Amino acid sequence: MRAFMGLDVGTSAVRAILVDEMGRLKGASAVRLSLSTPKPGWAEQHPDDWWKAAVTAIKQVVKKSKLKAIQVGGIGLSGQMHSSVFLDRSGEIVRPALLWCDSRTTAECREITERIGEERLRQWVANPALEGFTLPKVLWLRAHEPAAFRRVDKVVLAKDYIRYRLTGALACEPSDASGTLMFDIATRRWSSEMMEAVDLPMSLLATVGESAEVLGRVSAASAKLTGLATGTPVVGGGADNACGAIGVGAVRPGEAVASWGTSGTIVAPMSEPKVDPEMRAHTFCHALPDSWYMMGVMLTAGGAVAWHQRELARELEGRAHANLLLDQEAADTPVGAEGLTFLPYLQGERTPHRDASARGAFIGLSLAHSRAHLSRAVIEGVCFGMMDSLTIVRAQVAPLSQILLTGGGAQSPFVRRMQADVYGLPVVRVNREQGPAFGAALLAAVGVGAFRNVASACRATLKRLAREKPDRRAHAAYAAPYARFKALYPALKGLL
């Protein structure tokens, strides 16, 4: 029996899974990661910590699966987008990686926009210059740490650093390259025009292959560390959002995925690279050939819910099912939280505001409000933020008949119900809830010939569960609270 490994380098953990050719889970492991915030707005992790966590996760999952190393037929990689790894000529790390949620690069984004202009950004890379993207981080390093910048030979992304450590190959693929602001999304190649405009050499960038293409094989040294077999194929893999979409079967136009991780995303596949006229949502390459997706992003979705539980419900810390207790509190509170609104901009926001300095707030607090109202307002605020993204995406892509759910927002019946009612669309889960790691495993299976293509892999391994339809009255009841939510950001901009 062959099994396929999906390895996902997230922000909070590195996860490894093994699945067989029917998609059945044979083993899973997760190793937690910590986040460094040396200054306000900064967010860093050391790539060596990703590698150490990956080695541990791989060893654990192989042991749990009770499979022999030779039975691992291929490995697919997934990971956090945008996060920059700076390597010198010997492949050593120059400094800790600047993460997707790092917002120190506002000046660099302004410089890019002023030098190039939004119209050429739309033409060359299909996206605006935002703090989270990779290119502004490279320019920040050049401006603020010139000695470190002079050492840099290659800039790679999180999952691609793990590929380098596993195989010795420096390679990337289109879905992750899309988030660098250095990649031509339409032609699926690095943008020489962009690199010339910011005076950076093309040699900084890794070779681009396809997501299901074998781009390296496990080296003897890495095999010794991980317990994998020398020569095990490692495919291109994909960005976490692209792999997450594959992991629930969203591979064709007309489908969309709502995912709650630390951030929250709405991802909708497209057959051509359409761009939102105001570039409030992103256009990226999907992790399969000749396919793209539009994505709206809120920077704190599950992150806001976790913050609420950690800071405002500390007496529940360590109790079993603490999240379910908070959900029940919220469920017992009326729609709209009796006038209380939460803005979930705890780390700035992307869609629709493109504002790294945006901050969160509770608006409308009174003595009549309890923690239950705050619990309800937080979940509503996240759903309203996701609705902002969904509205923009729906205007550009094929009509949507339902929303596939994955991540934290798929686990709670109360949160699933709220999403259906706020979005006004049926929501549906699949029988596999392994997130981006599952999509990465399917890419590995395709890459070594177990399936003809990604679509056939999804059909063979995924089953959709019953649709949960919205309640029309509830959907109508959310109209006024959502309108209040939308009015608050422009009213408070510059004050928070």
- Predicted pLDDT of residue 63: 94
Q: Look at residue 496 and tell me whether its pLDDT is greater than 80.
A: no
| Prediction pTM value | 0.92
**pLDDT value at 490 more than 80:** yes
pLDDT value, residue 434: 86
495 pLDDT higher than 90: no
Tell me the per-residue pLDDT of 397-434, one tens digit each, with 9 for 90 and over: 988 999 999 988 898 999 999 999 999 999 999 998 88
Give SS3 for 73: strand
**pLDDT above 80 for 322:** no
Backbone phi and psi for residue 159, each to the nearest 5 degrees, phi listed first: -65, -30
- Residue 425 to residues 26, 161, 250, 381: CA-CA distances in angstroms? 34, 39, 16, 18
Q: Under DSSP, is residue 156 helix (H, G, I), strand (E, B) or coil?
A: strand
Catalytic (active site) residue 199: no
Residue 97 has pLDDT above 80, yes or no: yes
For 104-114, the pLDDT digits (tens) are 999 999 999 99
Q: What is the mean pLDDT of residues 305-314?
A: 90
CATH architecture of the domain with residue range 3-240? 2-Layer Sandwich (3.30)
3-240 and 250-429+466-496 have identical folds: yes
Tell me, what's the pLDDT at 5? 98
Kindly report the CATH number that applies to the domain delimited by 250-429+466-496: 3.30.420.40
At 320 the pLDDT is 67
pLDDT for 41-93, tens place per residue?
A: 899 999 999 999 999 999 999 999 999 999 999 999 999 999 999 999 999 99
Mean of pLDDT values over 31-47: 94
Mean pLDDT score, 158-172: 98
Q: Cα dist. 291→48, 77, 287, 389 in Å? A: 33, 19, 8, 20
Whether residue 321 has pLDDT greater than 80: no
- Model confidence pLDDT, tens digit, residues 190-236: 999 999 999 999 999 999 999 999 999 999 999 999 999 999 999 99
Q: 147 pLDDT exceeds 80?
A: yes
Is the C-alpha dihedral spanning 318, 321, 326, 329 positive or negative?
negative
Residues in the chain, overall count: 496
- Please report the sign of the dihedral spanned by the C-alpha atoms of residue 373, residue 378, residue 381, residue 383: negative
Percent of the chain with pLDDT over 70: 100
Per annotation, catalytic residue among 240, 276, 327, 355? 240
Distance CA 212, CA 446 (A): 6
Mean pLDDT computed over 332-337? 96
What pLDDT does residue 191 have?
98
Joined together, the tokens standing for residue 452 give 């003809």
The residues spanned by each domain of the chain are 3-240, 250-429+466-496
